[in-house]
Amino acid sequence: MLPARRHPLLPDAGLLIGRLALGVIFIAHGWQKLHDTGHAAVTAEFDKLGIPMPGLSAYYGTWVELAGGVALVLGVLLPVAGVLIAVDMAGAFWFVHRDHGLFSEKGGYEYVLMLGAAALLFALAGGGRFSLDAALWGRLSRRSASDVPGREPARV
């Protein structure tokens, strides 16, 4: 028998660990853009890289990484945060890394590919039972199902 079947909390613990790790990475990158580098320098760098609307793109990248990282850590609004982060990483892939091959040691896209894929994983799979989404939406779905007379909430 698979360990996840014997210990049903293991997949949720794995999702929690993944969310925390990915969230910390994005918080650090967003904080770096906001606090250490600054908007003007990020905008100048984006302009030099040929990123369209560099000022707006700098705001998007900074705040999606910072707020999206916080959302990942808390496990809240993961479908929205995951997609916005994946779009951010798609931009990093397209405008910065795609012409440098796969390996990040040569400026390639392996890092942004993994970060974007992990963000999409949480957007599509959710954050598990140890997330605010599960706490908030789980209660709402249980409450709405039990409000219908003669209908029991689904048991999995």
When pLDDT is averaged across residues 76-83 and rounded to a whole number, the result is 98
For residues 70-92, average pLDDT = 98
DSSP type of residue 152: P
pLDDT in tens, 58-70: 999 999 999 999 9
Return the ∠ at Cα 73 (arms to 44 and 17), rounded to 5°.
115
CB-based burial label for 44 (10 Å; 0-12, 13-18, 19+): middle
pLDDT tens for 113-136 read: 999 999 999 999 999 999 999 999
Q: To 5 degrees, how large is the angle CA 24–CA 28–CA 30? A: 115
Judged by phi (left if over 0) then psi (alpha if -120 to 50, else beta), residue 50 lies in left
Q: Report the sign of the C-alpha dihedral through residues 136, 139, 140, 141, in that order.
A: positive
Q: What is the dihedral of CA 89, 95, 99, 100, to 10 degrees?
A: -60
Q: Which two tokens stand for residue 149?
A: 């007379």
- State pTM to two decimals: 0.85
Q: Which residue's entry shows tokens 């598990």?
A: 128
> Each residue of 4-29: pLDDT tens digit?
677 889 999 999 999 999 999 999 99
Q: Rounded distance, CA 123 to CA 103, Å?
A: 26
Residue 148 is predicted with a pLDDT of 46
- Report the percent of the chain where pLDDT is more than 70: 87
pLDDT at 137: 85
> What is the mean pLDDT of the segment spanning 34-42?
97
Q: Given the structure tokens 């210990």, which residue do they identify?
A: 7
**Minimum mean pLDDT range among 49-53, 91-95, 139-143:** 139-143
Residue 143: predicted pLDDT: 54
